[in-house]
Structure 1
Amino acid sequence: MQKGSDDQELNSLRASIEILKSILDQQNQRKTMERQESEIQSDFDAKRSSLEAKVSDLEENLANGSDSETLSHGLDDSINESLEKLNSAKKELAARLRAIVSVKRQLDDVPSQSELIQYEHRFSELNAHIQEKLQQTRKFYATYNALLEIKELMLKETSLLNSITSQFQDAIASTAGRMKLLESMEGIVKGSQQKLEKVQLGLQEEQKVSDALKDRYTAAVMEQRRCYSLLKAFQEECARNERLRRQTSA
């Protein structure tokens, strides 16, 4: 019971960490896509400036009265080259836009910072509730086992006293009876000694289990500290992301 509860608690914490890691990865992916979108816009502006410069050159040639045939061939070549670049840019832009739309749809499913804070509070409350229930369950089981063992010992003691009382008067009436009673008492002492040794062995086993649980508890504490460290890093990343978002909006 105790082992299963500890494993469940660790699995719950690990699942929470995986969720936080997934959210961080999605936010990093969003930043990457935003940076790529900015690069595409810069490339588009550069190409537009280049085309505008070519148009200005053509207008200047027309104004200066350049040879119409040469100008026509040059214009056709420029138009064909520009059309090829335009079609290529459209295809590339369409592919990038599809990727951006896909990522934005995924980002729409990412909870906001306020929702993440609510999730954090809920996880903390759930963890505290699990710890409380676990402690109560351990206490109830320990009390039940102790009372059950006390009951068994009291029943054995009562049975032994009743047996001695019923046989004592007859046993002391003769020498053979006294010898038999003595042998019976020695058997009782021997049985009690065996019972004591058995209890001591059980105590040693419980001590081993206790030591193993202490080791697991130490490992769980280290894991909890690591979770807190990851959570703190996640909160700092959320705050930084919020600042960048405000700067971008401004």
Structure 2
Amino acid sequence: MQEGSSEQEFNSIRASIAILNSNLDQQNQKKISVLNELQNLQEKIRKEGAESKVKKFVSLLENLKLLERQESEIRCDFDAKRSSLEAEVSDLEEKIAAGSDSKMLSRGLDGSLNESLLKLNIAKRELAARLRAIVSIKRQLDDAPSQSELIQYERRLSELNAHIQEKLQQTRKFYATYNALLEIKELMLKETSLLNSINSQFQEAIASTTGRMKLIESMQGIVKGSQQKLGKVQLGLQEEQKVCDALKERYTVQWRSKDAAILS
């Protein structure tokens, strides 16, 4: 009866070792799955050009490497524990074969079984912690945008950029119109002031030769100033025309190159 109980305890210890081996194999499979997913995500990053997510993936990869080191340490510890358990099993088998005292053997088996169960529970907790860490990393990787989302973001940014450019052109046009009207207003005020001055002093100026000479000189100065102002305006117009011609030429070249690319 005691030998049957001993065999059951041996079988329980061996089952514990088998469970530990199975858990370790499952953990290795999950690690391989996570590594494959990371490789797929890295390939997507290279194809989609999602540079803004590179730092996040690097951090996740560093965490994964840390978990791999921890796994290696756990595996070494597991191998040591397994070797110890196998040595204990061999020792117990030798004792059974040698016909040792059943009470001492039973106590030894109970102690070994309790120790094995404790080690098994510790290994389960460590495995659960590892699985939680892997699931956390997987969730963070799932937060990365997909290719369709990146395309949608790019489309929205392009539309926003086009809208901003349109508003900018309108704003520039309004400012140019305002400046032109303001300049026209200033010229009209000067013209009105000049006409009022001439009207008030004309009769007095033509009454004498000196007054007429001063009036002529004043008019010549006004004409000269107007010509200088007209020259500045014409220079500005020429500069604006050059810029306009350059833009037309550039757009014409771009359109021709696009047409050539489409035809080819």
Query: Using CA pairs below 8 Å that are at least 6 residues apart, which structure has the higher relative contact order?
Result: 1
Task: Give the alignment's TM-score, normalised by structure 2.
Answer: 0.46
Is the radius of gyration larger for structure 1 or structure 2?
Answer: 2
Task: Give the alignment's TM-score, normalised by structure 1.
Answer: 0.48
